[in-house]
Structure 1
Amino acid sequence: MLPNFIIIGAMKCGTSSLYHYLRLHPEVGMSEIKEVDYFVAENNFDRGAAWYESQFKGDFKKYGEASPNYSKAHYFTGVPQRMYELLPDVKLIYLVRDPIERIISHYTHNYSEGREHRSIEEVLDGSRDNHYLMCSKYHWQLKHYLNYYPADQILVMPSYILKDQRRRALERIFGFIGVEKAYYNPAYGEQKHATSQKRRKGRVSRFILESPVIKTLKHFIPDSIKDPVKRLTRPPVAKPTLPPALRHELTEYLRPDIDQLRTFSGYSFERWDM
């Protein structure tokens, strides 16, 4: 029982929402955990194919998972090759978002988690092959898959369509993976994982919150207790604004890649300022 489709990314583009929506389809079985990361050698590949297969349970027509780390070829190498050797017929879904807004969201996420301590200007000024930028080079990421998979096994989906035209987006995705595309659940009308006020973890709180004991217990602590504690112990994080000159510089740098993505996907990405 191996997956028929995989959401390969991109990070901060709606993969958690799509994972949730797909779980609601009666013909779809999603992995027990969202980010299985099996094909990332540094994470779970050594666990073996039997472990990977064990992540998919139940009696469904199609099975899938969602691991945004699969579209970080600059950081995790060899993912498409390992995937192809096990799953040559798998369908790949790639969610994409305005590349500059994705970078800002990615930075804000890392800053709030206590993984990033520099300003966004420090992060982005200078090197053009840093982690934040490379995750937004969508066509460059896809090229690594196109060395193994034909284009008709890859679906690019703009996140703004999934958000604002959800029925249209889900019909296309359901049809692509081979399940009843007319299916619609009333819960699809709800906005999942909507952006909320980010709060910054300090080094001590991050150490405590990421301990195995706390990670286990937090699932049993109600939000009515967790939320006030977060507000008291973690300062709010404001979404940064890029200086106009830096935004223009990054846009010009990313534009050739986005133009290639337009050609590949058939989408104009008219809402992007590119």
Structure 2
Amino acid sequence: MACRLISSRIVPSSNRLSKRFIFIFTLSLSFTYLCYSIIFCCGTIMPNQSYEETRCLHHKNVGRKKLLQKDCSFPVNTRTIGEDSLNVAVVNQGSNHRNQSKHVPLPIAHKRSIASSEHNLTVAQKFGNKKLPNALIVGVKKGGTRAVLEFIRIHPDVRALGTEPHFFDRNYDRGLNWYRGLMPRTLDSQITLEKTPSYFVTQEAPRRIASMSPNTKLIVVVRNPVTRAISDYTQTLSKKPDIPTFEDLAFQNRSQGLVDTSWNAIRIGMYILHLENWLQYFRLSQIHFVSGERLITDPAGELGRIQDFLGLKRIITDKHFYFNRTKGFPCLKKPESSSQPRCLGKSKGRTHVQIDREVIDQLRDFYRPFNIKFYEMVGQDFRWD
């Protein structure tokens, strides 16, 4: 009996000890695993966070494609990107007037700027929205509007429509949604721009544009009205060789010096008459006048003033231009990725038809009072006399 009693007490005690030992051992293993897991996670999560921050910062400075992704919480400012929009080369003029280019070592800023501009374009195309234009080049025909458009659109903060939509003069009945659909995609910090020179002489255009937005900025490229009229006629003659002579179209009676103001080529150059119509809907401070003559002799200076007017950083400078002697006007220096400089098309820089000197003098006399009033109105002397 004694032996049975002793054995019955010992066996249960050993079982309890075994269970306690297993429980404590299991608890120790669990605690060890938990500690190890915490240490391991801390060691892996923190580097990943650092990597994500580095990756976001890298894309902020170098690329634009991932700036809009949600995992990068850094602010986006496209105006800080692209200090210079072209990677340029020095272009030398040969004795035969053909352009020959020679590559030279370029500053790092220029190499970065071409990449930034390309990234801006890519990001805008993928993530931007189509917006109504903030600014319009509204005139004038044969004044240099195409040059202004091509020059300003190399700015990384400008997105421009390449063709002339003629919305406010010919296609207004299509509606603003149709017009918006033509525009390139832009980021919020970019300017949307379009060019249609005939707007300046269209009676309804100022009212229609003001109805779209009374804060629209307007660019008008003006040129000596006599030279502009001859250029206008030269262009028409290239398309319609059978038209009357310039003298026949310009005068109702040349012997009396009676100019035919119904001819559009003459009427466009009466700038003050058209400007008065625009000033019924826009403040003069909303209109920037570009000298077509200075655009040829000092393109960087004119582009600098345009950038100021549009509220852009001055990125386009004299480093971007060279003078093409054959065409007689400035061209953009070629980027490294292109084999040719960027000049305007063959239709630009045509040789003007020869006009009798007396005809030119008569037209200068006709335009002089209009020019003087125009100078006084805009506060600039364009020196056309």
Q: List alignment gaps of at least 5 residues for structure 1.
A: 197-226, 228-236
**What is the percent sequence identity of the aligned residues?**
25
TM-score (norm 1): 0.76
Give the gaps of 5 or more residues in structure 2: 1-130, 253-259, 330-345
Write the distance in 2 (CA, Å) between the matches of 1:38 and 1:71: 13
Mapping 1:72-83, distance limit 5 Å: 72-73=201-202, 77-83=203-209
Q: Which has the larger radius of gyration?
A: 2
Residue identity in the other structure for 1:253: F
Distance 2:163 2:314 in 1: 22
Distance 1:185 1:4 in 2: 26
Alignment: residue pair count: 227
Indicate the residue corresponding to 2:144 in structure 1. Answer: 14
Shift of the 35–182 alpha-carbon distance from structure 1 to 2, 3 Å rule, reads: same
Hey, what does 1:136 align to over in structure 2? 269
> 2:195 aligned with 1:66, yes or no?
yes
Q: For residue 71 of structure 1, report the CA deviation from its aligned partner.
A: 1.7
2:139–2:198 Cα contact (<8 Å) kept: yes
Question: Is 1:175 aligned with 2:305?
Answer: no
Distance 2:145 2:363 in 1: 24
What's the TM-score once normalised by structure 2's chain length?
A: 0.55
Distance 1:194 1:93 in 2: 24
Quote the residue 1:55 is aligned against.
182
C-alpha displacement of 1:52: 0.9
CA contact (8 A) 1:4 1:177 kept: no
Q: Matches of 2:361 and 2:223 in 1, distance apart?
A: 17
Letter in 2 for 1:123: L
Q: 2:376 aligns with which of 240, 263, 270?
A: 263
Compare 241-250 and 109-118 and name the one that shifted more.
Answer: 241-250
Following the alignment from structure 1 to structure 2, what is the Cα–Cα distance between the partners of residues 92 and 110?
27
Q: CA deviation at 1:116?
A: 6.0
Cα RMSD of the aligned pairs, angstroms, is 2.4
Report the counterpart of residue 157 of structure 1 in structure 2: 290
| SS of match in other structure, 2:185 | coil
Q: Which has the higher contact order (CA 8 A, sep 6+)?
A: 1
- CA-to-aligned-CA distance 1:27-80 (integer Å, 9 cap, x gap): 00101x33111101xx2112210111122223342111110111223xxx3111
CA distance in 2 between partners of 1:255 and 1:190 (Å): 30
TM superposition shift of 1:82 = 0.8
Give the Cα–Cα distance (whole angstroms) in 1 for the partners of residues 178 and 303 of structure 2.
29
CA distance, structure 2, for counterparts of residue 48 and residue 134 of structure 1: 29
- Give the aligned residue type for 2:174: R
